[in-house]
Amino acid sequence: MNMPNAQKKRLTRLEDKVEAVDEGVGLLYSRVADIEQKRQQLSDEVAYLKSQSMRNNLIFTEIEEYNSQGNEYQVVTERKLRVHLSEKLKIPK
């Protein structure tokens, strides 16, 4: 099939554009995959940090505070917790 010269040039330009778009799409797929991998890694790190925070923040209820402000010195609180753990939960000293 014989094409006029102008059509050949136009077809060549369109093919070049399609090839450039294909390369761009390939790069975008690659970047999306990298970003998804980094997002998953960050999600895993956040879950780990949450679990560590929860592990380090035990909450004890039903232990009375004896001061009027509602906050005690760390030493007093620790002593109460140790007594509670040994007497109520039967954990050895």
**pLDDT of the residue at 25:** 96
- In the numeric block, which tokens belong to residue 65? 């505070």
User: How crowded is residue 51: how many other Cβ atoms within 10 Å of its Cβ?
Assistant: 10
**pLDDT of the residue at 37:** 97
Q: Does 54 or 7 have the greater pLDDT score?
A: 7
Alpha carbon distance 14, 16 (integer Å):
5
Residue 82 scores a pLDDT above 90: no
Domain extents in the chain: 1-57, 58-93
**pLDDT of the residue at 44:** 96
Amino acid letter for position 15: E
**pLDDT of the residue at 75:** 86
- Give the CA angle between residues 47, 51, 81 to the nearest 5°: 165
* DSSP conformation class of 68: T
Amino acid letter for position 48: Y
Per-residue model confidence as pLDDT tens digits over 17-33:
999 999 999 999 999 99
Per-residue model confidence as pLDDT tens digits over 45-74:
999 998 888 877 777 777 777 766 767 787
